Chains A and B, each alone.
Chain A
Amino acid sequence: MSSQRLLSFLVAVLLISACGKNRNVVLLLPDPDGHVGSVVVQNDLGSQTLAQAGTATRLSPKAAPSAPETLSPAEQEQLFGPAQRAMPSRPVKFILYFVSDSVQLTSESQALLPTVLASAAERKTQDIAVVGHSSKSGDEAYNMDLSRRRAETVRRLLVKSGLEPGIFEVTSHGSANPLILSASPHEPRNRRVEVTVR
């Protein structure tokens, strides 16, 4: 009985202390791939840089951001649990390659299409970006048109395989965004379409 009372007392203290804290918080966590970046938080009165995963700063209206601290797991859950669980998984990008000066997929890339479709189904995607690119050989107006036709070809193939036409966003960049900065204007890895399944 007394231990029960002690426990409820402790819970009450914890609740009160959590409630009393300033709830305007910025928290830094690692990226999904484990990399940790940094965050700079500032107002007219000062600035604070968070560079260590799991550190947080509190924001008050008439003060500089507070010194970095580690949140208790309970407070982190209370403030951020639902938002964290609502975070969508990262979009997946596929790169499909083409035979020179054509809208013909290489056989390896042709074989990748079922994987693209599986990813679209698994993610129940409603948003796919298809971006066409070309290598540097030839003039840019031609390359722009070629990269557009490549992107259109990929979209058509995916729609034929059962994806909704309305979920696609098709653009073309010509040779402006090479994947490989190559000395050769004929670099085959630049003849590509990038498909991002969001």
Chain B
Amino acid sequence: MRHACLRSAYMAFALAALLAAAVPPAFAAADAPAGSVKSLAGEAQVARGGAAPTALKAGDKIYEKDVLTTSAAASLGLVLRDNSTLSLGPSSRLVVERFLFAPEKGALASLIRIKKGSMAYTTGEMAKLSPETMQFMAAGYTIGIRGTHILVNVDEEPENAEGR
């Protein structure tokens, strides 16, 4: 059972890597990071801009479009640019689709997709300035947060929920 899970995770990973490799690296990472790694237990990885996933360590910066994954017994804690905090439990996968926090320019945007596993999130300044901006997606649902602490668990997001 666990083996089958692992295998499908690896296959999904390999597929994602292939797809990413097929697309030219036209993705433009916003210059400003979306956040940084505050804490880490076990192994967590980031896949960025079509490159192979690399291991994360405390202090590493996180950017828009990053795909974050944790291993079976691992967990990961992030502080985002608006001082919100986000953590992932074991065997989780999350995509920072969009995260822009530049209130001095009036630029705020956020979309975080939970593909698999568990996530906890406590809102920061973005939710205070513009509550409608904080958007999450999981299992084909959109989740809007009005200033609070939420937890989301997803067993495995069906692939057809991708475009929604």
Contact of A177 among B77, B78, B103, B146 (CB under 8 A): B103
Kindly report which residue of chain B lies nearest to residue A83, judged by CB atoms. Answer: B89
Query: Smallest Cβ distance from B120 to chain A, in angstroms?
Result: 4
In the assembled complex, B133 has its CB within 8 A of some CB on chain A: no
In the assembled complex, B85 has its CB within 8 A of some CB on chain A: yes
Contact of A35 among B38, B148, B150 (CB under 8 A): B148
Interface size on A, residues (CB 8 A): 46
How far, in angstroms, from A30 to B151 measured CA to CA in the complex? 11
Tell me the interface secondary structure of chain B in the complex. strand
- Complex contact B151–A198 (CB within 8 A): no
How far, in angstroms, from A171 to B32 measured CA to CA in the complex? 11
- Complex contact A43–B150 (CB within 8 A): no
- Complex contact A198–B38 (CB within 8 A): yes
- Complex contact A24–B138 (CB within 8 A): yes
Interface size class on chain B is 35 or more
- Complex contact A173–B104 (CB within 8 A): yes
Query: Smallest Cβ distance from B115 to chain A, in angstroms?
Result: 12
Kindly report which residue of chain A lies nearest to residue B38, judged by CB atoms. Answer: A88
- Complex contact A61–B139 (CB within 8 A): yes
In the assembled complex, A111 has its CB within 8 A of some CB on chain B: no
Contact status of A86 and B122, CB under 8 A, knowing A25-B152, A39-B144, A61-B140:
no
How far, in angstroms, from A32 to B121 measured CA to CA in the complex? 11
What residues of chain B lie closer than 8 Å to A196, measured between beta carbons? 83
How far, in angstroms, from A32 to B32 measured CA to CA in the complex? 27
Contact of A61 among B59, B103, B161 (CB under 8 A): B161
- Considering only residues 142-177 of chain A, those with a C-beta below 8 Å from chain B are 167, 171, 173, 176-177
Give me 15 other A-B pairs in contact (C-beta within 8 A), A25-B152, A41-B141, A176-B104 excluded.
A24-B155, A26-B138, A26-B151, A26-B152, A28-B150, A31-B122, A31-B123, A37-B146, A38-B146, A40-B146, A43-B141, A80-B120, A88-B85, A90-B83, A93-B83
Q: Which residues of A contact B (CB under 8 A)?
A: 23-32, 35-43, 59, 61, 65, 79-91, 93, 124, 126-127, 167, 171, 173, 176-177, 196, 198
